[in-house]
Amino acid sequence: MITQSSVLEKFGLQYPFKFNKKSKLALGYFCLMLLPFLATFSLDMADKTTYATILTTVNVLAMMAFYMQFPLVSRLKSFSLFANIDWNITHHKKIGLWLGIIFLLHPVLILAPRFLVSFDDGMHSLVSVITAPQMLTGIIAWVGMIIWILIAIFKNTLNISYETWRFTHMLGLVTIMILATLHITSVGSHGQFQEKFNLIWWALCATSVTMVLYNYFIKPRILRSKPFKLIDVAQVSSTDWQVTIEKKDASGFDFEAGQFVWLNTSKHSGGVKEHPFSIASCQADLPRVSFLIRNLGDYTSKLDTLKIGQNVYVDGPYGSINLAESSKAKAIVLIAGGAGIAPMLSLLRGLAEKNDARPIRLIYGNNRLDQMVLQDEIKALEKTMPNFKQQLVCNEEFNQEHREDIYQGVIDKDCIEGVFNSINNQNSIEAKKDCTVYLCGPKPMIAGVNTSLKSLNIPKEHIHYEQLSF
Ligand SMILES: Cc1cc2nc3c(=O)[nH]c(=O)nc-3n(C[C@H](O)[C@H](O)[C@H](O)COP(=O)(O)OP(=O)(O)OC[C@H]3O[C@@H](n4cnc5c(N)ncnc54)[C@H](O)[C@@H]3O)c2cc1C
């Protein structure tokens, strides 16, 4: 049943109206989107017919959304509106899909009324649009946009590396954006009649190009001037590596437990060969920073070929998970799937540093037992921390005779409920109400655990998660 609150939830709002972090981002984004649209009114550029008004409104909003795609992926952590990388990438993808659809429909919507008058009239307009020299930029942008969006949708089925895809995605869309700007400022209805309005589009175009140039040419130079050094690469399970780096000048890098960075171990500090990894160590370990990395592809399978002492370039930290989110909670549950253990361990190590006495539970799931990392350290924490316990979860069948402590299967509702029950009634804690849950793992695991948490009535605002893919 669709309720008032479920509709509001869809837009990140709560009833009675409370703005959470995500709804504030959505509101900020919406306000920015309206700027050129409002300018059309202030410059007295109202269209003559309702259809033309609808069409220009859609076009102006779509073009603004196109420019806004650039700050969304530019890792602008100093601007709070664009600092939440997870939110940015999720919306970048959704908006990209809508832009593809609007671009596709754009000529159809312009020509449709002429076809409605008469087929011949429509065909005549179509031919003159295709053959007019001033339409060339628009036609190339239109075809390019459709091809680039299709490549982005099907990138996993194409035989190209993620790095190659990301670079060509950026290059293609910058070109399309410049061509589209040329198109709207030369033949767009606003541009033709109001020169001043074009200044807005060119300013947005220049800002977008500047962001790309900064990310691919200037930022790499800045990172090159403050490299880290590779200290150690050690295999910590059948599929995972622990990589440790150290800041050369022991200053200028800080992070919060739960955050991630883009790590670049190639000779060049350019933004093409970097990979996102969560920090597994805690602040007390600085200037050393460690990562737990699962062998999942062409880069992560070759970590043992890295040279101890070589330079490593670090872009970050990023990510919005942090311990401040649980400062008021009476208990904390950390849930990790596979490589998702890294940020959970960072949080756990941070809590251990503070000797946190609240009930703390770690649910740690893997397909196989030999994939569980750093068990000696985690078991030692069970003894030294005042109220910490780990629940291992293993999907593959194992000899349960000696391992009754392990939950066989995936991290499902029963498993999570069992852990919550182990917290209930301690110092009158009602676990489901008083807990903060941190969650990290691959996308399907996050979706499954979120569903289980929902069915256990854990309030949404008590759940903080990071997905291991964008
Ligand atoms: C926020 C975040 C934190 C992460 N933390 C960890 C961690 O702590 N430990 C860990 O083992 N893994 C982590 N990952 C996943 C890790 O980034 C990928 O497994 C790794 O980049 C794969 O690279 P590859 O070349 O070995 O594999 P590939 O076969 O090239 O890629 C496998 C998949 O990984 C993703 N990927 C690859 N390269 C990149 C890139 N440069 N940028 C973004 N995504 C990429 C793509 O979805 C790709 O389909 C994290 C991912 C994200 C988004």
Q: pLDDT tens digit string along 341-378?
A: 999 999 999 999 999 999 999 999 999 999 999 999 99
Q: Tell me the CATH number at 290.
A: 2.40.30.10
> Could you tell me if the CB of 302 is within 6 A of ligand 1?
no
The protein residue with its alpha carbon nearest to ligand 1, atom 35, reads 469
- Written as one letter, the residue type at 122 is G
Q: Which of 295, 299, 301 to mutate to test the pocket of ligand 1 (most atoms within 8 A of CB)?
A: 299
**pLDDT 10s digits, 310-351:** 999 999 899 888 899 898 899 999 999 999 999 999 999 999
Q: What is the pLDDT of residue 4?
A: 52
What is the number of structural domains in the chain?
A: 3
Chosen domain end from 222, 253, 269: 222
- How far are the Cα atoms of 83, 103, 205 from residue 73, in angstroms, in the given order? 10, 21, 15
| Ligand 1 centroid from CA 276, angstroms | 6
β-partners of residue 18 are 14
> Could you tell me if the CB of 300 is within 6 A of ligand 1?
yes
In a domain, 3, yes or no: no
Q: Are residues 299 and 408 in the same domain?
A: no
Q: What is the pLDDT of residue 189?
A: 67
Q: Are residues 74 and 177 in the same domain?
A: yes
Q: What global pTM score does this model have?
A: 0.87
Q: Are residues 185 and 312 in the same domain?
A: no
What φ, ψ does residue 370 adopt, rounded to 5°? -75, 5
Q: Where are the beta strands (DSSP E) in 279-380?
A: 288-294, 311-318, 331-337, 360-366
Q: Are residues 268 and 127 in the same domain?
A: no
Q: Are residues 81 and 117 in the same domain?
A: yes
Atom of ligand 1 nearest to the CA of 278: 8
Q: Are residues 186 and 329 in the same domain?
A: no
In a domain, 274, yes or no: yes
Q: What is the pLDDT of residue 442?
A: 94
Chosen domain end from 318, 344, 362: 318
CB atoms within 10 A of CB 143: 12
Atom of ligand 1 nearest to the CA of 470: 53
Structure tokens at 359: 């009930």
Q: What is the pLDDT of residue 22?
A: 76
Q: Are residues 313 and 331 in the same domain?
A: no
- Which residues constitute the domain of residue 154? 21-222
Under-70 pLDDT residues of the chain: 1-19, 43-48, 189-194, 250, 269-271, 400-402, 425-429
Q: Are residues 53 and 190 in the same domain?
A: yes
Q: Are residues 338 and 444 in the same domain?
A: yes
In a domain, 10, yes or no: no
CB 231 within 8 A of CB 292: no
Q: Are residues 94 and 172 in the same domain?
A: yes
Q: Tell me the CATH number at 403.
A: 3.40.50.80
In a domain, 15, yes or no: no
| Distance separating alpha carbons of residues 1 and 12, to the nearest angstrom | 18
